[in-house]
Structure 1
Amino acid sequence: MTMAAEEVTGRRRGHPLLQGRRRERYTHGLHPAQMDALRAMCGALIPSLLPVVDRLHGGADDDHDGRGDQQMAGASKDDLERFYLASAAGGTIPHEVAELVTRCVWEAVVLVKIVLWILTTKVGTFALCGRLCVTSKFPYVCKFADMPVERREEVLKRWNRARWPLKITFVVIKILCHYAFYTMVNENSEKPCWKAIGYNIPELDEPRGGGTTEARPSSPRPLDAGVVETRGLNDTTLLRSLEDKGVAVTTQQDDTWSAHHHTVRCDAVIVGSGCGGGVAAAVLSAAGHKVIVVEKGDYFTAADYTSIEGPSMDRLYEKGGIFCSTNVTTALFAGTTVGGGSAVNWSASIRTPETVTREWAVEHGLPVFASPEYARAMDAVCARLAVTDGCREEGFQNKIIRRGCEALGLKADAVPRNSSEAHFCGSCHLGCPTGDKRGTDTTWLADSVSRGVVILTGCKAERVVLESCKPGRNGRRKKCVGLLATCSGDGGITKKLIRIEAKVSIAACGALMTPPLLRNSGLKNRHIGRNLHLHPVSMAWGYFPPENKLMIAGKCYEGGIITSMHRVTDRTIVETPALGPGCFASLVPWESGRDMKDRMRRYARTAHAFALVRDRGAGQVDGEGRVRYTPSKDDVHELRDGLRRTLRILVAAGATEVGTHRSDGLRLRCNGSELLSTRLLAQKLTPMVLRWWRHTYLGSGVRGCTLGRMSVRSGVPT
């Protein structure tokens, strides 16, 4: 953003948009009676509890007294009491949950609103809650909001075991309520309950893990010379800013358009500034072409990033990170900022395996991927991103993966990263605050801006412009002459149309956003949006008490995100995720309000690992924000085997308790090395990895517009 990061009295350094702030108004549209029902649900999910003396010392475990938890967290007795007494029914949290609901698929939004409305009546409450809403006073039935919190909690337990639609309602509210509760910060960008769970954000003024100065951009804001931030501009200042960047602009109004618009002319326009768009901009500008990059996200730099989960997810990810498939079983993450996914990736920079390049060459008729040219291209990419193969010091979760593999006699490989070997930052998924990690925003886009490329931020491509032409040898009767985009000017209050006329138009907005753009433009190829592959993951967790005999120092959010991996099969690998308190609480199974707070008390020492599968089944992008995806039977089998291996690794590493994200909360206590027996461990772990609707899969779009030589199989012919 144009406002440089600066110290604000009483607040953490970084850009104001990434520090967290109260909403000035809410637009969720829920009736006050519906809000009462939602507030009651939030209060049952995260209730105010009287602290139990044993739990103040972490005594939720049979195998240790838990004093080490308190020492590791640095939490006082007052911190723990404050944590257990806190409730999600207080303050503006229910309104924040209501706002987050509006980001879900429309079916889920409608369902939640209907259920909340039913709960505003006594008859409706009786229909959904049964005898639990019966009282001894006339009329002997009460509304959901008037039920005691213990009974409301029992209702939610039933819904958790129910089928659609109550199951969907429970899942949506449970996820969003916990996410809002653990990510909302005060005016000082702090959360009081963080101390109780052992979480803190390192001060940005302190160095975070060394790194080399060579990997950092020469300028703190290397793209300022080419960036036009449209969100803060009105009609006049937008026109002036474009002209100042050397862009030819005219203002027109004719019968073709419903309103007057600016027309911009250039040689090439690129939609998206991530790995595809950034490289294309650099190559075309190096050839002497005038290039404009359209990016709907904002421009942030290392000095802007705060590592505060809530506001960072909101500004750096599609739908603020609240993006899921239409069946609400798969959460999706896609970067929406200058640099795209490269700005928020987990640093892993793995080359395309030879088995995959051969498949692309043979099955899709694309021999270039099996050629030496493609290998040299990967070499060039790794060199420009300063990819390193080693890691000087691994973080808590990766140490566990490596130790577990060693105990089982399995191989743990080092993961190449687009950062230095000394990079010890667990916040790169929220933008790397050290500037050590390299993305397109600090490499190819910086190169292209130095050659005159203009980047329009806060600017959304609506559709490409097609015009009729004489049929050529390829038989096509239309050609692309540019695109139509909208800019959110005056701080998002107004929208301005921009027509960008170009000789070449490139759609590089990712597997999830490119198909809607092409379809909105009138393209009819039935393969557009199909063949979507997400590389789904399924997670397991293990708890490692601080005083465990096999002591592994650290906390789950410290250190490089992915530095070690284990390959289970050619299609399945085991790695570690980045989970802040909000994402952690959203994914962890809810059994009761007290159990959930006990789980969160152990956050810092709960390690997660996931099995990632190269899926053979495919999903489909039906429109913007609408993704249909369910893993195939074969993919589920791979995930199951990978999850079983992941659990074995956690047990071998010394976990005292392991589990998955099954919503029934099934977990296994590990009280001895006898569990390492393959047969016994398989018997214990098998129930955790059975085919179960209640698993939540995570994924990121990796392919959605298939390339190929034949249009009968490809969305984009070559």
Structure 2
Amino acid sequence: MYEERGRECHPLLSGNRDEDSKNPSLCSSEMESLTSICEVILPPLPPNSLNHDQESIQQFSTLSASQHPIPNKVARLLVNREFFEAVMVVRLVLKLLSSRIGTLLVAGSLCLSHKWPYVNKFSEIGLDKREKIVQRWFKHSFLTPIRLGFVFIKSLCTLVFFSQVNENSNNPSWEAIGYQVYITKEHSKQQKDRPLQKGIVEIINETDHTLVKSLVQKGLDVTENLKENIISINCDVVIIGSGCGGGVAAAILAQSDKKVVVLEKGNYFSQTDYSNLEGPSLDQMYESGGILPTLDGKVMIQAGSTVGGGSAVNWSACIKTPPTVLREWAEDHKINLYKTNEYTLAMNKVCERIGVTEKCIKEGFQNQVLRKGCENLGLGVDYVPQNASENHYCGSCCYGCRSGDKKGTDSTWLVDAVDHGAVIISGCKAEKLLLTKNDQGKIKGKRCLGVISHVLSEKMSKRLQVNAKVTISACGALLTPPLMISSGLKNPNIGKHLHLHPVLMAWGYFPENDSYLSGKSYEGGILTSLHKPGFDEKYILEVPALGPGSFAALTPWESGKDFKERMLRYSRTAHVFSLVKDYGSGEVKSAGRINYTFHKSDTENIKKGLKQAIRVLIAAGASEVGTQSSDGRRFKCKGSSDEDVEEFLETVDAKDVPLSMVKDWNIYGSAHQIGSCKMGQSEEEGAVDENGESWEAEGLYVCDASVLPSAVGVNPMITIEATAYCLAQKIAYTF
């Protein structure tokens, strides 16, 4: 059910692929153990065990995650998406469980039998006993590595199980859990037009024989070196990345009569390409398929990887840089831009271009919960400005806005760039910056002459070399530093000072018959309400977008039956999260390998916010609340006293210790990555100067979230775009 696009089928609409049956790169004994664990996580239950006579729920109770192709998909995600250390932990667990001695070590007497050979491998043990074995892993601290391996598998298994779709774009569990994907079948002619079509070359549609012709047809100066298998493009400016930074920079520089080429690693999806399907969308529109943890596994990171970058998949929040942050950046970090009228005007221009509205007409269920809970507690709650109309009620903008209402860079700034002659090349990953010795008597020892890229297509062998007077890295705080470091730049600030705006979530269940709040958790504008406490508090409260797969991956596991019962509550479970302006920081020196260290104040602030989130959920009328702590901690609200609530809140924690030292833990989330190539007044204080230019290489600029001096504390889209707007204006006057 692929949607035709040019010479090749576009894969976004389908999760039913031939690769489901391919070898998942685990040996047969490991696959046997993995399958038996998947069955424990989501086991087949007797038809009446979930206490519902609804046919879809009866069917759901009998489904198992051990059924094909779930284990194969889990294995493939593990091997292809997880970092090396995580894969090794999981494979160690699988190896142990595939042998009798290993199973005896981690299962004890539950693996013993009265028949030869008296000790069973994990897969040979009955399902009830297997479940008890896994439950024991959560009770003994010396089994933490085994428990961690199980949690990795559980997260992947449940994500796959609840997000995979068949040839009809459906999942057999969705009706039971109250989930429905809304797909508009017909589009108007205007909607069918792809906004960037006249200026984009999509590598997914090209071959070695067609690429040069396609580039020339877009008006580019192209030469081909057959001996080295390189296609060279000459232009004024090459921009690596098309998100909030790169998209704005492309528009400003193209409008300044510069010949601009934008390289984007991801593919191009327009309104009619979007499917609203969680699995395929995460796989193809997010960095590492939406599965990108820090190296210690404590923070799960989401970042856009498509034309439009994060702006194509974010939650539409358009919050201007807080005045306190502007003062901090201007006074403490001495970046003069942030105290100028120029920056204020840039924020206004950005908001105007992306069509920001101040208040939506109708709020979705989760935002109703946050608003009503805050109001009942006497807490302030603000409307969140959106880069969409007041009527915007799309709950799936995190998979691309199928309504076409949200205005990301792919439908605004990049359109402006293309209208002024810019060319975008999608499916093309920057490999190395072209740095040469600066022989023009300049202070800087190097000069950047462009970038070498490789194309992400198995059908092609050629590389692209883009020669440019100015090179701008705008591939985000996670990928700009690795590109600069791998190209030979040495400034010690490159890759450091990474901020993540870490979040922890609380949940509340609102039975439909007992609540005055209408709707389902996945409906309506994703983020339209915001609670900002007093000046002394360093957290904010917001609500997330969680498809059923993501919801399941976060949900604590206590038993197979309990997990299925939790999933039946999916559509009426609201989440509220606590987000902090973090003072801790991390580093990213190579792609996909992210270290992060919490500051003590961050864990304290996030815990305060998490407790307040629970109070808000209770005040809104939740019948039960809890956290995502791995021990499944929860609290029944009906008939409880204020003292009971506070007693429960005393158990809520935000630990900052290695996962190997605790029996229960929370997985933090991050959707904002900031500051890993920050601006500074000197090369000792920053990776680039206050114009965004590298201290080491003339003609090399950075124009994305990585240049921000510290965490913002709120959704950063407007801050990134306004900063890019100002930096691009300065760059335009340099040549």
TM-score normalised by length of structure 1 = 0.91
Letter in 1 for 2:470: V
1:200-279, aligned counterparts within 5 Å?
200-205=180-185, 220-252=193-225, 259-279=228-248
Does 2:73 match 1:96? yes
Are 1:325 and 1:628, in contact at CA under 8 Å, matched by a contact in 2?
Answer: yes
Q: Is it true that 1:36 corresponds to 2:32 in the alignment?
A: yes
Which residue number corresponds to residue 18 of structure 1? 13
Matching of residue 363 in structure 1 with residue 328 in structure 2: no
Look up the match of 2:509.
543
Amino acid of the residue matched to residue 112 of structure 1? Answer: V
Per the alignment, residue 531 of structure 2 pairs with 566
Q: 1:113 to 1:391 in 2, by over 3 A?
A: same
Change (3 A) 1:54 1:280: closer
Residue range with higher mean Cα deviation, 140-149 or 532-541: 140-149
- Structure 2 Cα separation of the partners of residues 282 and 317 of structure 1: 24
Aligned partner (choices 125, 130, 136) of residue 147 of structure 1:
125
Which of these residues, 83, 86, 95, is aligned with residue 60 of structure 2? 83
CA distance in structure 2 between the aligned counterparts of 1:714 and 1:370, rounded to whole angstroms? 19
Structure 2 Cα separation of the partners of residues 506 and 88 of structure 1: 46
Verify: 1:479 aligned to 2:447, yes or no: yes
User: How far, CA to CA, are the matches of 2:425 and 2:367 in structure 1?
Assistant: 39
Partner of 2:655: 691
Match of 1:406 among 372, 375, 378: 375
Counterpart amino acid of residue 698 in structure 1 = G
Deviates more, 1:43-52 or 1:175-184: 43-52
What's the CA shift for 1:626?
0.6
Is the 1:613–1:635 Cα contact (8 Å) retained in structure 2?
yes
Deviations 1:621-642 (A, max 9, x none): 1310010113221100000000
CA distance in 2, matches of 1:374, 1:628: 32
Q: CA deviation at 1:313?
A: 0.6
Residues 168 and 328, structure 1, Cα contact 8 Å, conserved in 2: no
Question: CA-to-partner distance for each residue in 1:341-388, whole Å, 9 max, x for gaps?
Answer: 000001111100011111111122111111111000000000011111
Q: Counterpart amino acid of 1:604? A: S
Native 8 Å contact 2:192 2:272 kept in 1 = no
Equivalent pair of 1:80/1:196 in contact (CA under 8 Å): yes
For the residue of structure 1 that corresponds to 2:94, the secondary structure is helix
- Is the Cα–Cα contact under 8 Å of residues 488 and 496 in structure 1 kept in the other structure? no
Give me the identity figure in percent.
Answer: 45
CA contact (8 A) 2:481 2:494 kept: yes
Query: What's the CA shift for 1:150?
Result: 1.3
Shift of the alpha carbon at 1:717?
A: 2.2
| Contact kept in structure 2, 1:217 and 1:442, CA below 8 Å | no
Deviation at 1:680, TM superposition (A): 4.5
Deviation at residue 23 of structure 1 after TM alignment: 3.4
* C-alpha contact 1:160 1:170 (8 A) present in aligned 2: no
Does the C-alpha gap of structure 1 residues 613 and 465 become closer, same or farther in structure 2, counting only changes over 3 Å? same
Contact 2:607 2:652 in 1 (8 A): no
The question of whether the paired residues in 2 share the 8 Å contact of 1:15 and 1:305 is answered with no
Could you tell me which of 702, 711, 716 is aligned with 2:674?
702
Which stretches in structure 1 are left out of the alignment for 5+ residues? 7-13, 58-76, 208-212
The residue aligned with 1:595 is 562
Partner of 1:67: none
Q: Post-superposition shift, 1:648?
A: 0.2
Task: Say whether the 8 Å CA contact 2:183–2:275 is kept in structure 1.
Answer: no
Distance (whole Å) between structure 2 residues aligned to residue 495 and residue 364 of structure 1: 45
Equivalent residues in 2 for 1:290-309, closer than 5 Å: 290-309=259-278
Q: Which residue of 1 aligns with 2:284?
A: 315
Query: Where in structure 2 are the equivalents of 1:283-682 lying within 5 Å?
Result: 283-470=252-439, 472-473=441-442, 475-489=443-457, 492-548=458-514, 550-570=515-535, 571-672=538-639, 675=641, 677=642, 680-682=644-646
Q: CA deviation at 1:688?
A: 2.3
Gaps of 5+ in 2: 660-664, 691-735
- Structure-2 change in CA distance of 1:297 and 1:465 (3 Å): same
Residue 185 of structure 1: how far off its partner (Å):
0.7
User: 1:204 touches 1:306 (CA, 8 Å); kept in 2?
Assistant: no
Q: Can you list the C-alpha shifts for 1:308-331, whole angstroms capped at 9, x where unaligned?
A: 000011010001101110011111
Question: In the TM superposition, what is the alpha-carbon distance from 1:197 to its structure 2 partner?
Answer: 0.3
- Please state whether the residue corresponding to 2:263 is helix, strand or coil: strand
Deviations 1:383-413 (A, max 9, x none): 0111111111100000011110111111111
- Secondary structure class of the residue paired with 1:485: strand
Q: Secondary structure at the match of 1:533?
A: coil
Amino acid at match of 2:677: C
Instruction: Give the CA deviation at 1:253.
Output: 5.8
Q: Distance in 1 between matches of 2:42 and 2:534?
A: 40
Q: 1:468 to 1:217 in 2, by over 3 A?
A: farther
Give distance in 2, aligned partners of 1:118 and 1:244: 58
Cα 1:495–1:3, aligned 2, differ >3 Å: closer, same or farther? farther
The alpha carbon displacement at 1:132 in A equals 1.5
C-alpha change, 1:500 and 1:476, in structure 2 (3 Å) is same
For residue 373 of structure 1, what is the amino acid of its counterpart?
A: E
CA RMSD of aligned residues (A): 1.9
Shift of 1:152: 1.5
Residue 106 (structure 2) aligns with: 128
Partner of 2:51: 55
The residue type equivalent to 1:36 in the other structure is E
- Scaled by the length of structure 2, the TM-score of the pair is 0.89
- Is the alpha carbon distance of 1:495 and 1:333 closer, same or farther for their aligned partners in structure 2, counting shifts above 3 Å? farther
Q: CA deviation at 1:282?
A: 0.6
**1:231, 1:487 within 8 Å by CA — same for their partners in 2?**
no
Structure 1 residue 4: Cα displacement: 5.3
Spell out, residue by residue over 1:246-275, the C-alpha distance to the aligned partner (whole angstroms, 9 max, x if none).
111112267xxxx42111111110000001
Could you tell me how far 1:689 is from its partner in structure 2?
2.8
CA distance in 2, matches of 1:574, 1:26: 43
Letter in 2 for 1:178: T
| Alpha-carbon offset, residue 218 of structure 1 | 7.8
One-letter amino acid of the counterpart of residue 496, structure 1: K
CA pair 143-696 structure 1, distance change in 2 beyond 3 A? same
1:366 to 1:219, Cα distance in 2 relative to 1, 3 A: farther
Distance 1:4 1:31, change over 3 A: closer
Q: CA deviation at 1:450?
A: 1.1
AA partner of residue 357 (structure 2) = T
* Distance in structure 2 (CA, Å) of the matches to 1:156 and 1:177: 15
Of stretches 47-56 and 439-448 in structure 1, the one that deviates more from structure 2 is 47-56
Give 1:508's aligned amino acid.
A
Offset at residue 113 of structure 1 (A): 1.6
